[in-house]
Structure 1
Amino acid sequence: MDITVTAEEPKDSKLVATLTVPAADVDRAIKAAYKEVANKYNFQGFRKGKAPRPVIDSMVGKQNILADATNDVLAQAEPLLLDQLDIVPVGDVDYGENLEPVAEHNDYVVTVTIDLIPEAELISYDPVSINMPPAEVTDAEIDQQLEVLMGYQAHYDEAEEGAEVATGDIVKVTVKDIENGERFAGDDRMLMTGSGMLPEALEEALVGMKVGDSKEVAFEMPGAPTEDDQEPEPVHVVIDVTLNEIQVKHVPELTDEFVDSAFGFENVQALRDAVAAEIKADKDQHLPSLKEERVIVELTKRSELEEVPEDYVKQVHDEIARQFLQDLQAQGQTVDSFLQMRHITMAQLMADMQEQAAEHASQSIALDALARHLDLQLTEDEVKTEFADVYGVKDVDKVMADFKKNGQMPAVRQTIRRSRAVKWLLDTAEVTEVDEVAEKRAADNQ
C-alpha cells in the first residue's frame, strides 16, 4: 500500500493529518471483502466462494461489505501513517464520528486526529550536575558492611534491673486489645525495636519504658483490601502494653581471634580486604545504572511542564503493568504470590505502579525535549545498526519490515533518540564524588 499523508502543525499535543489511500488499494480491499463473505457463507444456487456481488449485496448488504473493506484499508494504512509521521500516538487514532466508507475506483481520503506525547521545554539544556559515590571503596563503606556482618553474630542478654528500653533491644510484652488490636494481643509477645516492623507509635512508646511499666498506645493501621482494589480506609487501633522483660543486644568485639573463628579469615585486615572486594564488585555492576538514574532525575527537574496529561500516564502505566505481568510469568510467579511475598495489597501495588508511571512519563518528556534540542537525527543505517544490537536479530531487514507493518518503528526510533540523549547526559555530566555512606553515618551519630 502506497499511502499519501499531509499533516498540519501539531497544536495542544494533537496532530491533524489527511490520509489518502490510492484507488487501486481500495479496490483490492473491496474485492477481498467480497471474497471473504463468499467463502464464509453458503448462497443457494452457488458453489462456496462463487456467489456474484449482486447476490452478496442482496443477502449481506453492500454497506456492510464496504464497512468491512474500510476497516481493512484503515488497519493496513494506520501503521504506515504513523511510520511516515514518525510519531508514537497516545491512545487510538481518531477517525472522527462519521467515517465515510470506501468507494470503488476512488481514492480514499480521511482526516485523522492523533493525540501526541506532550512536548515540554527545559529551563536549561546545559550538562547536569550530580553527586556520585566514589568508584573506589571507602573505609566508611567497609565499616558499615562489617557492622552488618557483626550484627549477625550478636547475642541478647537480659538487661540490668532498672534499665530502659533502647532502640535495638528485644522486649517481651503483654498486650491487651482495647480497640481493633486483636493481632497484637497476647502474653510475653517478643518484639524487636528498631527493626522497622513495628508501628511508629508503638516503637516510640516502647523506647524508654522500664520493666513493669504500662502504656496505652493508639495508632492507625492499613485496612483490609476492598473488592474493587481501592485504597482501604485505615483502622484505628488502641492497645495496652505492659513491659515484662528487656533483652539487650551485645555485639562481639571485632578481633583477629574472633574473625578467625567466626569467618575463617586470618585477621581483621584480611576480612576488611574481602569485604572491600565484594563492595568493589557491586559498585562496578551498579554505579553505571545509578549514574544514569541520577542524570535523568536532574534533567527532569528542569521540565517546564506543570502536569503530565492523564492519558499519557495511563499509557505508560499500562506498559509497566504489561511488563510486570510478563516478568512474573517468566519467573513462574502469580500476582497473588508476589503480593504475599512483599506483604502488600493489590491497591498498594497499583498505587506504586501509578507513581512509577507518572515518574517515567515525566522523564520521557524531558528526554524527548533534550533530543529535540540536540537535533538527534537518525539515518536508516543507524537505525538498522542499533536495531540489530538491541534486538539481536540476524535478518534485520525482515524484522524491521514486520515492525513497520505493525506501526512499531516510530517507537523504536523514539527509544534510540532517548538512549542517545541519555548518553549525552552521561558523557557531559559534571560529577562530584561524595562518600554518602560516611555522611549518613556522621549524621546518624550526631
Structure 2
Amino acid sequence: MKSAVETLSPTRAKLTVEVPFEELKPSLDAAYKKIAQQVNIPGFRRGKVPPQIIDRQVGRGAVLDEAINDVLPKKYIEALQENDLEPLAQPEIEMTKLEDNVVIEFTAEVDVKPEITLPDYDGIAAEVEDIEVTDEDVEEQTKALRERFATLTDVERPAAENDFVVLDLVALQDGEVVPGAEVSGMSYQVGRGGMIDGLDEALVGLSAGEEKTFSSQLVGGDLVGQDVEVKVKVTQVQEQELPAYDDEFAQLASEFDTAEELTADLRERLGRGKRLEQAAAARDAVLEALLDKVEIPLPEGLVADELTARRQNVEQQLAMAGITMEKYLEDEGQTVEEFEADLERRVRDAVAAQFILDEVAKKEEFGVDQNELSQHLVRRAQQSGQDPQEFANHMFAHNHIPELVQEILRGKALAAIVEGAVVKDASGNVVDLKNLRPDGTIGEPEAEAAEDAAAETESVDAEAAEETTEA
C-alpha cells in the first residue's frame, strides 16, 4: 500500500491511498464465501458455488464492492498511522481508481488535529477576585436554614409575595383541557417562579375561594410554546412564620449550643465554598492566559457540531426546569444574538483548550493507571446520578473508555500547568490551589477521600481497563 497526504488547511488533510490488488485478495476470498452462502444456484450446494459461477450469475462488481467495503476502512486507518494524522471526524471517502486485478485507489478528506507549537507554560501569571464573606451572605444562609424549620399558618387575606397558597390549576386550549396540564391541591410559594409565566402575577391579590384566568404559553409537553388559557383557583392562603434565630434554634437545627457558634460555622462554610470557587476561577484564568499565548486553528466542522450539542443541552436543561428560552434570555439580560455569540466563544475556547492540553499531556508523557480510571468512572457516575457499576459497564460496552482516559490526561495537564502558575487575588495575595485534584477538577480534601474510598469499593472491569490504559 502507498499513501500520500495533502494539507488542505491547518485542520484538514486529504489522503490518497493506493492498494495493490494482491492486498485485496483476503477480502475478495471472504466476499466470495459470503455471497456463496447467500445465493441459490441450481447444481451447487449453498456455500459451494465457485467464484467463476458467482462472477457470471451475480456479477464481479458485487464481489468487488463487498471486498472494497471490507478492506477500505483498514487501509484508511493504516494510512492515518503511516502519516501520523489524528482524525477528528468521519472522513469523506471517494474511490478514484478501480482496475480489476491491478490496483484500487481512493481519497479521504478528514478534519485533523492541528499542529501546535506549545508556548512556555511554566510560571503563567493570572489574577482572580478576592474572597469576601459578607454579613449579607451569612444572613442569606441563616434565612435559608430558618425556612427549613418554618411553619405555615392559614390567613384570611389576599395572597401576597412570599405567601404559600394551595391551588388548583388547569390549562385549556380551544376550551379543551390540555393533557397533563391539570393539578389540584398543590402547595406553591408566590413569587417562586418556575411554573407558568403569569402565574405569580395572577395569584397576588387572590383570597381563598377566588380564581383567575390568564393567558400563557406551555413550557413542556406536545404543545410547548403554544398559547393556552390558564385557570387558577386558590383554596388556601398561608403565611410563612420563621423561627427566631436564637440559641434554642441553634440547638434544634445543628450540633451547636448557641446561635453565635452556628453563625461562625456558617461563615466558615461559606468561606470554604468561596475558596473552592476561587480555585476554580484561578484554574480557568490560568488556562485562559495560556490560550492567549498561542494561535490554534480550529476545524469549523468540529466547532459547529459542538455548538449544536451545547445549544441542545441548554434547551433541554431549560425545558426540564420549565423555563422558556425567551424567559431565560430575559432573566440574563441577553439578546439571542448575544447568547449565540457568547456560546460560540465558549465552544471555541473549549475546543482550543482540548487541543493544547492534549499536547501538554503528550509532552509531559502522562499516563493513566487503573486506580485513576476507576476513580474517574465513579466520579462521572456520581455526577450523572448513575450507579457506578452500571455506568462503567456502559462505558466499556460502548467503547467510551478512551474518551475517559483522554479526560483524565487533560485534567493532569491542566493541573500541571496550574501548579506551575502564579495566581494572585486582587489584593496581591497568592491563591492557595491545594484543592486542585490531579485530574484538574476542584474538590475539598475530605470529599476527595470519600470519593477515593468509593472507588475502591466499586469493582469495574479491571482487565478491560488495563488493556485500554496500557499505553
Count, aligned residues? 381
Which residue, out of 425, 428, 449, partners 1:432?
Answer: 425
Question: Is the partner of 2:92 in helix, strand or coil?
Answer: coil
Which residue, out of 162, 168, 174, partners 1:168?
Answer: 162
C-alpha distance in structure 2 between counterparts of 1:86 and 1:290, whole Å: 34
After superposition, the Cα gap between the structure-2 partners of 1:365 and 1:339, relative to the gap in structure 1 and judged at 3 Å, is: closer
C-alpha distance in structure 2 between counterparts of 1:55 and 1:177, whole Å: 70
Q: Counterparts of 1:70-219 in structure 2 under 5 Å?
A: 70-83=68-81, 84-90=83-89, 92-96=90-94, 99-101=96-98, 103-106=100-103, 108-116=104-112, 129=126, 131=128, 134=131, 142-157=138-153, 166-171=160-165, 191-197=188-194, 199=196, 201-204=198-201, 209=205, 218-219=214-215
Residue identity matched to 1:11? S
C-alpha distance in structure 2 between counterparts of 1:391 and 1:185, whole Å: 47
Residue identity matched to 1:233? G
Give the Å deviation of 1:89: 3.1
Question: Is the partner of 2:8 in helix, strand or coil?
Answer: coil
Structure 2 residue 385 is matched with structure 1 residue 365: no
Task: Tell me the residue number matched to 1:233.
Answer: 225
Which residue, out of 52, 62, 66, partners 1:54?
Answer: 52
Residue identity matched to 1:265? F
Give the Å deviation of 1:71: 1.0
| Greater RCO (Cα-Cα under 8 Å, separation 6 or more) | 1
Task: Tell me the residue number matched to 2:459.
Answer: none
After superposition, the Cα gap between the structure-2 partners of 1:259 and 1:22, relative to the gap in structure 1 and judged at 3 Å, is: same
Structure 2 residue 242 is matched with structure 1 residue 251: yes
C-alpha distance in structure 2 between counterparts of 1:215 and 1:286, whole Å: 45
Give the Å deviation of 1:239: 6.1
Structure 2 residue 375 is matched with structure 1 residue 382: no
C-alpha distance in structure 2 between counterparts of 1:216 and 1:305, whole Å: 58
| 8 A Cα contact 1:179 1:237, kept in partner | yes
C-alpha distance in structure 2 between counterparts of 1:137 and 1:79, whole Å: 56
Which residue, out of 61, 64, 81, partners 2:62?
Answer: 64
Give the percent of matched residue pairs that are identical in Structure 1 and Structure 2: 19
Task: Tell me the residue number matched to 2:262.
Answer: 271
After superposition, the Cα gap between the structure-2 partners of 1:261 and 1:75, relative to the gap in structure 1 and judged at 3 Å, is: closer
Give the Å deviation of 1:70: 1.0
After superposition, the Cα gap between the structure-2 partners of 1:40 and 1:197, relative to the gap in structure 1 and judged at 3 Å, is: closer
CA root-mean-square deviation: 6.0
Give the Å deviation of 1:109: 2.7
Give the Å deviation of 1:137: 7.6
C-alpha distance in structure 1 between counterparts of 2:419 and 2:159, whole Å: 48
C-alpha distance in structure 2 between counterparts of 1:264 and 1:376, whole Å: 47
| Unmatched 5+ stretches in structure 1 | 324-334, 349-353, 393-402, 435-446
Residue identity matched to 2:365? E
Give the Å deviation of 1:150: 0.9
Give the Å deviation of 1:151: 0.8
C-alpha distance in structure 2 between counterparts of 1:410 and 1:178, whole Å: 47
Q: Counterparts of 1:208-357 in structure 2 under 5 Å?
A: 209=205, 218-222=214-218, 225-226=221-222, 232-237=224-229, 247-263=238-254, 265-272=256-263, 275=266, 292=283, 309=300, 312-314=303-305, 342=320
Give the Å deviation of 1:357: 9.3
C-alpha distance in structure 2 between counterparts of 1:365 and 1:284, whole Å: 27
| 8 A Cα contact 2:27 2:67, kept in partner | yes
C-alpha distance in structure 1 between counterparts of 2:254 and 2:410, whole Å: 50
Give the Å deviation of 1:262: 4.8
| 8 A Cα contact 2:217 2:228, kept in partner | yes
| 8 A Cα contact 1:88 1:411, kept in partner | no
| 8 A Cα contact 1:219 1:237, kept in partner | yes
Q: TM-score, normalised by structure 1?
A: 0.59
| Unmatched 5+ stretches in structure 2 | 327-338, 375-395, 428-471
